[in-house]
Chains A and B, each alone.
Chain A
Amino acid sequence: MTSIDNLFLMTLSGQSESGTVPPEGRRIIVPAGQHVDISLLLLHGNADIHVVLTGKQASCRIQTLYLSCQNNRNNLNLEVIHESPETTSEQIIKGIVTDTAHTAFHGIIRMPHQAQQCVGSQNHRAVLLTPQAVVMATPELEIYADDVQCAHGSAIGALDTAALFYLMSRGIAEKTARHILLQAMINDSLPPSFEPVVQEWMAQHA
């Protein structure tokens, strides 16, 4: 087990909060006209984050990276509830899983009857570094409103062998090449303050 805690960073109406995610999960209420930015780095155990958009023009952006190694079992649950019409949500989830680790990702976007003119998106991408690594992704859209836009995508696979060979054919060692590709995948999805922890994990496990 790694000794580093999961990292959590949230900015709501100009107020920032950083720390870890409590085991019982977090419920974040976003009132009208407010925006919340949430970044999460999941290294072990589970994380539950629920965001409720309660007033018009409320919005959220959730960026998550999960890194799982050895024989870890992780669960990541993200839920966004568009309680009010005219709300917007974006989820970007990236994962790297190696050894014999398993990660289950469950992401829900709920748009009840009243949630008209809402926009929601969820994008999940995971790289498996060993044949024994497993990611189970269950994206879920629960949509009862008719005038909404909702998009989700999930891609899970091994590293691109063509890209790996290309880098190696230019003299770059396999481990470095792998790190370059993994870094490229997660690049846009995390705040700089998470960088050192991500680097350390990669150096040890990827």
Chain B
Amino acid sequence: MALLTIENLCARVGDKEILKDFSLTINPGEVHVIMGPNGSGKSTLANVIAGHPAYEVTGGRLMFKDRDVLKMTPDERANIGIFLAFQSPTELPGVGSALFLKTALNAKRQAAGEKDIDAVSFMRRLRPRATALGITDDMLKRALNVGFSGGEKKRMEMLQMAFLEPDFCMLDEIDSGLDIDALHTVSQAVNIMRESHRSFLLITHFQRLLNDITPDYIHIMMDGRIVKTGDKTLAATLEEKGYDIYR
């Protein structure tokens, strides 16, 4: 059974149609990559799956674990396992990073009928993940994303993914603004989480993210839909020839 099924999805902002009959199926354990020029609708796709209220879905179907996602609120989607690492994470002045992580985890546990995590278990879960991603105690004490560098924000997104352990992880340009070392750290975080029940959708412009992560499929997105699907070798073709041949 597919984890995520998208059929002829159409979405717009205001009068502007962005997703045009977009279709994609993702099975458990698969890693999919979407590449495409700026403005082709990659972030819109991710945001629509996450339930961003700015985007209006005007047609099509979106099923996750056999549930109709389009009827669900963003928090309900998150709590059945949908996660989006944002291209530009929002700053939350006054909201402490550690407390935020705890609140998010408890929300997920409550949705699953479990009781809140205790302080010791919380730290035991947080510490190794934060260390692996190079996130210091000082960062965890600060307000979420406030005053973080671009790279720190990206790593904080990855920490949330590692901490919440969602079944479907969308990473929107997680590689932008990262140096080689940080990129390697982020790739490791993805690889460690690859499991037979978990799937990934990576949005990127660059082949270099795929040096460490080996995807099952690469899709090229143009003007709101997938125009070409291939295996991992498609990235190299793209790097060489550019998007123009798919226009």
Question: Which residues 153-179 in A have Cβ within 8 Å of B in the complex?
Answer: 160-163, 165-174, 176-177
A166-204 CB mask vs B (1 if < 8 Å, else 0) is 111111111011001101110110000000000000000
Q: Which residue of A lies closest to B108 (CB)?
A: A171
Chain A residues with CB below 8 A from B108, complex form = 171
Give the number of residues in B that approach A within 8 Å (Cβ atoms). Answer: 28
Cα A66 to Cα B227 with chains together (Å): 55
A171 lies within 8 A of B53 (CB) = no
CA distance A160 to B75 in the complex (A): 17
Q: Which residue of B lies closest to A160 (CB)?
A: B90
CB within 8 Å: A-B pair count: 73
Cβ of B52 within 8 Å of any chain A Cβ, yes or no, is yes
The residue from B77, B90, B93, B164 contacting A166, defined by CB atoms under 8 A apart: B90
- A187: chain B residues at CB < 8 Å are 94
Known: A162-B90, A163-B90. A169 touches B74 (CB 8 A): yes
Give chain B residues whose Cβ lies under 8 Å from the Cβ of A169.
Answer: 50-52, 74-75, 77-78, 83-84
CA gap between A196 and B90 in the complex, in Å: 29
Cβ of B199 under 8 Å from chain A: no
Q: Mark B73-110, 1 if CB is under 8 A from A, else 0.
A: 11101110001101001101111000010011001100
Among A163, A173, A181, A183, the residue within 8 A (CB) of B107 is A173
A180 to B106, CA, bound (A): 14
Q: Does B111 contact A (CB under 8 A)?
A: yes
Chain A residues in 8 Å Cβ range of B51? 165, 168-169
Apart from the given pairs A170-B164, A187-B94, 6 other A-B contacts in the complex at a CB distance below 8 Å: A165-B51, A170-B78, A172-B75, A173-B75, A180-B100, A185-B94
Q: Which 7 A-B pairs have the closest CB atoms?
A: A184-B94, A171-B78, A168-B74, A170-B104, A171-B107, A166-B90, A168-B75
8 intermolecular pairs with C-beta atoms under 8 Å apart: A163-B90, A165-B51, A169-B50, A169-B78, A171-B78, A172-B104, A180-B95, A184-B94
Interface residues of chain A, those whose CB is within 8 Å of chain B, are 160-163, 165-174, 176-177, 180-181, 183-185, 187-188
